[in-house]
Amino acid sequence: MSPLNSDSQCIRLSHLVNNEECFISQHSGGLNYLNNGVEYYFVEVTSKSGVQYALCAYGADAKELYKLTLEILSTQRVVNVVSTMYE
């Protein structure tokens, strides 16, 4: 089975984080490279009920997934900081 393209992975990541009350629980950090030089990126998303989803992309698709992950993470951090201020 071939991996989904970045549009599908980006759409899936956006849907999970926005609609399924999930958060990014782990990611590759930066873009990684396979032995053949192809870029690779991995994101793990966890729901509040504990279900985990793994998303990965290769090549140019990895760059798009990486960018979206950074955008979501920056938003998650702001929300977490603000929510702890009002606890």
**pLDDT tens-digit map of 7-34:** 688 888 988 888 768 889 999 889 999 9
Domain spans of the chain, in order of start? 6-74
Contacts 24+ apart (CB under 8 A), 71-80: 72/13, 72/14, 72/17, 72/24, 73/24, 73/27, 76/17, 76/23, 76/24
Q: How many residues are recorded in the chain?
A: 87
Q: Give the pairing type, strands 52-58 and 32-33.
A: unpaired
Q: Where is pLDDT greater, at 4 or 30?
A: 30
**pLDDT tens-digit map of 54-84:** 999 999 999 999 999 999 888 876 554 444 4
> What is the reported pTM?
0.76
**pLDDT for 1 beyond 80:** no
